[in-house]
Amino acid sequence: MTPEEIAQAIVDYATDRKALDIAQLDLRGIIGYTDYFVVCTGRSDRQTKAIHDAIHRGMKSDHGILPQRVEGLSQGRWILMDYLDVVVHVFTPETREFYRLEQLWGEAPALVLSASTS
């Protein structure tokens, strides 16, 4: 799979678990360790874990791809999944607001794939 296809598959799995504010940041040519960030929000730590589980299960069963590492799963406020070419960040709302990754990487072209709904 290409990095773009991996990112799109991850977006699809996150969408299936009702992730909010999904954004895909194109980091090619900006940083050297990955091509894309997929950033999304779950309403609670329980939902962030469910989003992680859906991505992990889908990438493994449908594509035979496992993340190289996962961090933050026990807490659930910021779960990082490293698929090398794509790094996934699943946040609770408060944690996403605190770290503001999209602003940190503001020069990266961003594709906003979903917005919050009440």
d(CA 117, CA 55): 21
Amino acid residing at 96: R
pLDDT band at 38 (very low <50, low <70, confident <90, very high): very high
> Does residue 114 register a pLDDT over 80?
no
> Does residue 118 register a pLDDT over 60?
no
Cα-trace Rg, the chain: 13
> Does residue 100 register a pLDDT over 80?
yes
Q: What is the mean pLDDT of residues 15-30?
A: 94
Architecture of domain 3-112: 2-Layer Sandwich (3.30)
Among 25-29, 37-41, 97-101, 113-117, the range scoring the smallest mean pLDDT is: 113-117
Q: What is the mean pLDDT of residues 64-74?
A: 98
Where exactly are the structural domains of the chain?
A: 3-112
- Written as six digits, the tokens of 112 are 């906003």
